[in-house]
Structure 1
Amino acid sequence: MNTKNSLIALVIIDLLFFSTYFIYLMFPIYLGYYPIGIAQILLLIICLVFFGIYGKRVFKSAEAEKDKLVQYVPIILLVVGYLISMCIIAISIFWWVAFMP
């Protein structure tokens, strides 16, 4: 998975994460706490899998060739984006478990 595809996957994961809250707030029928928590757990697992696939490819290509530091800036920003997304999803799962009635 190259950087562009990984960025698209990260954007889709983030949009799905925000859409779960949007649907939960805008849906006229009360769905309960379980659907939003299950969706967040699935999104966290998917995010971890994509991050693992991307990290595996990045480390293989980094060992094979010696590039300039400037070429690693998008990679570093994407890794930071993945880490921030995973932390936000993990915190929201904690809130879901902690404040569930």
Structure 2
Amino acid sequence: FAGDTGYCEVFKEIGARLGPFTAAAIPIGAYLPRWFMRSHHASPADAVQIHVDVRSAWSVGCHWGTFRQKATEHIMDPPRELQEELDRRGMRRGEFETVRH
């Protein structure tokens, strides 16, 4: 479980030293505006990179859609943007998922 985090290079080190992981819970919400949230909250694109860096076989997106946060993205944008990033990278369906609310 990544907790509240922005992306940083340490995820590569975690993957190299402790991975691969069977599963990971990676935050995908509360990421806008980026100028303010970048170091505190991962965007969906950041979350996909974390998934790759820690060498997770399967990941689930968390920290989104439960209640309105102080971020500026729409409450339902994170899973849509996550899927767009997975498609952009040509990653297989089911490798990184979200639960339906």
Normalising by the residue count of structure 1, what TM-score does the alignment of the two structures yield?
0.31
More helix by share: 1
Larger Rg: 1
More strand by share: 2
Normalising by the residue count of structure 2, what TM-score does the alignment of the two structures yield?
0.31
